[in-house]
Amino acid sequence: MTDRQTALAGNIDKLEKHLARFRSHGIANLIDGQSVQAHAGMSFETHSPVDETLICRVAKSDAADIDAAAQAAKKAFPAWRDMKATERKAILHRIADGITARAEEIALCECWDTGQALRFMSKAALRGAENFRFFADKATSARDGQTLPSPTLMNITTRVPIGPVGIITPWNTPFMLSTWKIAPALAAGCTIVHKPAEFSPLTARILAEIAHEAGLPDGVWNLVNGYGEDAGKALTEHPAIKAIAFVGESRTGSMIMKQGADTLKRVHFELGGKNPVVVFDDADLNRALDAAIFMIYSLNGERCTSSSRLLIQRSIADEFLTKLKQRVDNIRVGHPLDPATEMGPLIHSIHHEKVTSYFDIAREEGATIAAGGTVPEGPGHYVRPTLFTNARPNMRIAQEEIFGPVLTAIAFDSEEEALTIANGIEYGLTGYIWTNDLSRSLRFANQLEAGMIWVNSENVRHLPTPFGGVKASGIGRDGGDWSFDFYMEQKHIGLALGQHAIPQLGA
């Protein structure tokens, strides 16, 4: 056996040990500190995208399970809210320690559950721990406010946690994204009900267990599995839940907004994207090539911030696209636990069908499939990394979120044209600009309709910065203090400095 085969066999062996408990007991909910099956006794199967085999059965919850979880979160809220921030901080750090200790288990299970390559998932597990550490350290300043004196009053502000919140997460990098939403909610003093995606339930269960082992009081973190249309919907409609933090598709966000209207839910939405990477002829083209490839073909292209539209200046397009095609053809597609694999299978047969349907759409629209556009033989939801060229901005392949390893390249002549193409879309999550002209980069960034923009860089997340999108890509921001703006209410208190005149009606 080669070193690579030995490593793969070793990883599969370790994975099987971690999966044994799921295989024998399935995945139950975790409500008020107790492992419980769905109230109605229903469950659904979850399969691995790698070979389509059954992993285990998962609790299929409905409104009754959501109610039990929401009531538990409501009951636990006052004590968690009033716990000393230093104690909350210590618990959150212990959760981070627990994640680090089980990082390998988390990474292996996540790969098997989602099809993501181990090279990315090991880092994602550790980023989950970092998310907890970052917000643990912010817990002690979460209530900080301002002093805004007027002539007659000393006005002060403080923040208080909004109450029990619902957190609904998608199947792409589900572990990291769950920590990203849950850590600030807990640091703020909120209790939570988490509804993970039905396609990827494994690591959400491990994470909730770690939290309880770290000493999190019962009821503070409740995990309810199930489908979006029943468990998810019930969560967004529950009167005890004060806000919904949601990551997923734009059209689901729109449904959640309607579902939450009767109970006046506060919402935070991180939604879809069709992000442009704009490469000008004066850029460092080797670095731009590396970044463009990384931002669409890493994580199987199942990434909201992926650069799925390449806008390339016509004067350099031929040369750039030739090199791009060679690199795309070379991307190693394979078993996610093989250390050499760069791309694994897509999450699910439904998603595979959606992504591959764009191959025909591209042909029908008159674009060229310069690389990929094929499905490898054998089991699993695999697809070859794909590059569409000769595309026009109004084509479906240039407008719709495919959410797979599929890049649409469009040539432009001028900066003005590039901006029109970049903004001519319903989404506005991220944008990537490659140029060595400083003024142009600032001018372009100023006018680009996106929540996050990187110049001469791929997406590099820095936790104190705001994360979120504009247009159909989202509402609200995460990161730094912005997360607390969502999970907390501002409170103003005015104290009279003396005996100012009070209007004397009826005197």
Query: Which is closer to ligand NAD, CB of 219 or CB of 474?
Result: 474
- Please report whether residue 401 would count as binding ligand NAD according to CB under 6 A: yes
Backbone angles phi, psi at 59, to 5 degrees: -55, 130
Strand 406-412 relative to strand 386-389, pairing: parallel
- Please report whether residue 304 would count as binding ligand NAD according to CB under 6 A: yes
Which residues face 318 on adjacent strands?
none
Choose which of 96, 271, 288, 299 interacts with ligand NAD (CB under 6 A): 271
Block residue for tokens 């959501």: 66
Backbone angles phi, psi at 331, to 5 degrees: -60, 135
Pick the closest to residue 202 from 102, 304, 330, 270 (CA basis): 102
Three-state secondary structure call for residue 259:
helix
Q: What's the helix, strand, coil split of the chain in %, to 5?
A: 45, 20, 35
- Please report whether residue 121 would count as binding ligand NAD according to CB under 6 A: no
Q: What token pair was written down for 345?
A: 């299978």
Choose which of 98, 189, 219, 228 interacts with ligand NAD (CB under 6 A): 228
- Of 470-489, which residues contact ligand NAD (CB under 6 A)? 473-474
| 344 within 8 A of 111, measured Cβ to Cβ | yes
Closest approach of ligand NAD to the CB of residue 367, in Å: 22
Closest approach of ligand NAD to the CB of residue 214, in Å: 24
Which residues face 412 on adjacent strands?
313
Q: Which residues are catalytic?
A: 270, 304
Choose which of 197, 211, 283, 312 interacts with ligand NAD (CB under 6 A): 197
Closest approach of ligand NAD to the CB of residue 305, in Å: 7
Query: Which is closer to ligand NAD, CB of 103 or CB of 193?
Result: 193
Rg (CA), the chain: 24
- Please report whether residue 232 would count as binding ligand NAD according to CB under 6 A: yes
Query: Which is closer to ligand NAD, CB of 156 or CB of 255?
Result: 255
Please state, in angstroms and rounded to a whole number, the distance separating the CA atoms of residues 66 and 78: 20
| 355 within 8 A of 404, measured Cβ to Cβ | yes
- Please report whether residue 128 would count as binding ligand NAD according to CB under 6 A: no
Please state, in angstroms and rounded to a whole number, the distance separating the CA atoms of residues 38 and 419: 50
- Please report whether residue 272 would count as binding ligand NAD according to CB under 6 A: yes
- Please report whether residue 248 would count as binding ligand NAD according to CB under 6 A: yes
- Please report whether residue 429 would count as binding ligand NAD according to CB under 6 A: yes
Q: Write out the DSSP string of 370-385.
A: EE-----SSSSS----
- Please report whether residue 344 would count as binding ligand NAD according to CB under 6 A: no
- Please report whether residue 229 would count as binding ligand NAD according to CB under 6 A: yes
Binding interface with ligand NAD (CB under 6 A)? 168-172, 177, 195, 197-198, 227-229, 232-233, 236, 247-249, 252, 255-256, 259, 270-273, 304, 401, 403, 429, 469, 473-474
